Amino acid sequence: MIVIGLFAALFTIVIAGFGVTMSIFARIGRINLIECVCLSWLLGVGVVSLLLWIGGALCSGLLLQAIVTLLCLVLAIFGWRAMRLANAKFEIPKLATITEWILAGIILIEITALIFVSFKHTLGWDGLLNWEIKARYAFLNGGTIPSTYYSNAGRGFSHPEYPLGIPFTELWLYLWMGEPNQFWVKIIFPLFYAAGAPLLALFIARLSGSRWIGLLIAALLPFVPSISASPGGVVVGYVDVPLSIFYLSALGYLLLWLRTNDSRFMIAFAACSALLPWTKSEGIILWFVLVLLGFVLSLIKRRVAPFIISIVPGCALILAWRVYLKIVHLWPHSDFARPSLGLLRDHFSRLGEIFTVLFVELCERGQWSIFWPLAAAALIYLFASRKLERIAVAGAVIIPILLYALTYVFSTWPSYTAHMTSSVPRLLLHVMPAGWLAIGLALSQSKRETQTL
């Protein structure tokens, strides 16, 4: 029964996401089935967690579960109708060469392996005590986070102020399984990887015009130890991998929109970027970076108005979460002091050590192999190309790293270097798939810029 419940939960997430994806892409005529499935998972997670959060304010228990399920079905029907009305058809990308077949096979094997390996490990420290704890308490309280959770300072260690995107996805699985099952809930995290790897291949293929390069890069992705073999990776149930996949997706669709001026890509960007702050607090920084890059690019391309509209969902979600925290009388606890010029002047001397620690981390082969030197080489290529779109990709890799590093100037920990070494590896993980996108674009020197996948 538990496994049936698990599949029902996953199915409802995917169909809800399918409904949203179809409402975005139905008019395209030929819909890439792989893209549709990947995006259905990402957007489904967003839709279901948001519905549980909003619905939980009105009802709880079986009624909440029934209403959210019903809305998932309505979304799926809506999407299906949109697809029928547009006479759209699914299309599976046809792999042209033996190389592409082999690379696609490798990606499939890697995804299967990561799903299997995930079940060999327990949830990690943060996975259990920051994220799963919220899902468990909400489950025990009929689907809503009890107000006593927020009022008990003793449970401040679990960061009650963190957003609920992933905890409520876990909650959805618990509601369907009928118990807070810490074994099966881990399926969520490799599924993010399973959605992210094909999307990475797809973005590179579309932006470079070379499908095999996209597949090659996606096949290399799990060889970065931090994603597959280290604390913070896929197997320990942290939200850093999901956040990195949302960031990659938002960046990919932003670039596609800027290249094609196709409003469907802009909507996909709006949806993926809005879910960044809903996944982790640091998502606000990633969202801000994309907004900054998107604004500059849309200004150059004279498309500011639609771009401004595309950031409205993200703004709304950030605002809604702040209001919610205020309602539950919780002000975000922070390991950082409020930034001010005076503090910046006082702590300016930290910068040298901060960038030393950052450099040491980037060179840490046990975590990253030589991924960051590869990414650095790719960034040089991208800047040298003097193409706006490629420079934007380089910016999407560099700016978050710089911003993350600079935040430690305001760290309130007794040892800001200890603060850094404990958190920087996971922060770098957020940008890693975008770094692979940069490598893929640097590798491709093709003049073709067609959409082949």
Partner 1 sequence: MRVRHYLHFVVWFALFALFIWISVPIVVPAMRENRFGPIETNRSIDAYLSALTGIEHGSEKLPDTFRRLGKEGKLVVFVRDENAQSEFLGMMIGYVSWPREVEVIKVPGSSVEKKLADIKPGSVAGVVFCSVDPPAWLQHRVPLGYSMTLVPVTEAAP
Binding site for partner 1 (CB under 8 A): 113, 116-117, 119-123, 125, 127-129, 132-133, 136-137, 140, 146, 148, 152-155, 157-158, 179-184, 216, 220, 222-225, 228-230, 365-366, 369-371, 374, 377, 442-443, 445
Minimal distance, residue 237 CB to partner 1, in Å: 8
Strand partners, 31: 90
Q: Closest CB to partner 1 among 261 and 446?
A: 446
Query: How many other CB atoms sit within 10 Å of the CB of residue 442?
Result: 23
Nearest residue to 451 (alpha-carbon basis) of 250, 207, 248: 207
CA 191 to centroid of chain Cα atoms: 12
Q: Closest CB to partner 1 among 136 and 430?
A: 136
Q: Closest CB to partner 1 among 23 and 210?
A: 210
Q: Closest CB to partner 1 among 14 and 114?
A: 114
Say what the alpha-carbon torsion angle 72, 75, 81, 86 is, to the nearest 10 degrees: -130
Q: Closest CB to partner 1 among 230 and 249?
A: 230
Minimal distance, residue 193 CB to partner 1, in Å: 13
30 DSSP assignment: E
Instruction: Name the residue type at position 330.
Output: L
Minimal distance, residue 374 CB to partner 1, in Å: 6
Q: Closest CB to partner 1 among 216 and 432?
A: 216
Q: Closest CB to partner 1 among 178 and 339?
A: 178
Strand partners, 32: 91
CA distance 239 to 430: 10
Strand partners, 298: none
Instruction: Name the residue type at position 407.
Output: T
Minimal distance, residue 141 CB to partner 1, in Å: 8
Minimal distance, residue 57 CB to partner 1, in Å: 20
Minimal distance, residue 278 CB to partner 1, in Å: 24
Minimal distance, residue 209 CB to partner 1, in Å: 15
Q: Closest CB to partner 1 among 123 and 431?
A: 123
Residue tagged 């990195």 (tokens): 244
If DSSP states are collapsed to H, E and C, what string results for 310-335?
A: HCHHHHHHHHHHHHHHHHCCCCCCCC
Q: Closest CB to partner 1 among 119 and 348?
A: 119
CA distance 121 to 98: 35
27 DSSP assignment: G
Minimal distance, residue 31 CB to partner 1, in Å: 32
CA 208-312-16 angle, to 5 degrees, is 75
CA distance 437 to 218: 9
Minimal distance, residue 53 CB to partner 1, in Å: 20
CA distance 10 to 7: 5
CA distance 438 to 435: 5
Minimal distance, residue 124 CB to partner 1, in Å: 9
Q: Closest CB to partner 1 among 225 and 306?
A: 225
> CA–CA distance from 320 to each of 246, 315, 412 (Å)?
19, 8, 27
Minimal distance, residue 392 CB to partner 1, in Å: 21
CA distance 13 to 313: 20
Say what the alpha-carbon torsion angle 325, 327, 330, 335 is, to the nearest 10 degrees: 30
CA 389 to centroid of chain Cα atoms: 21
Strand partners, 336: 411
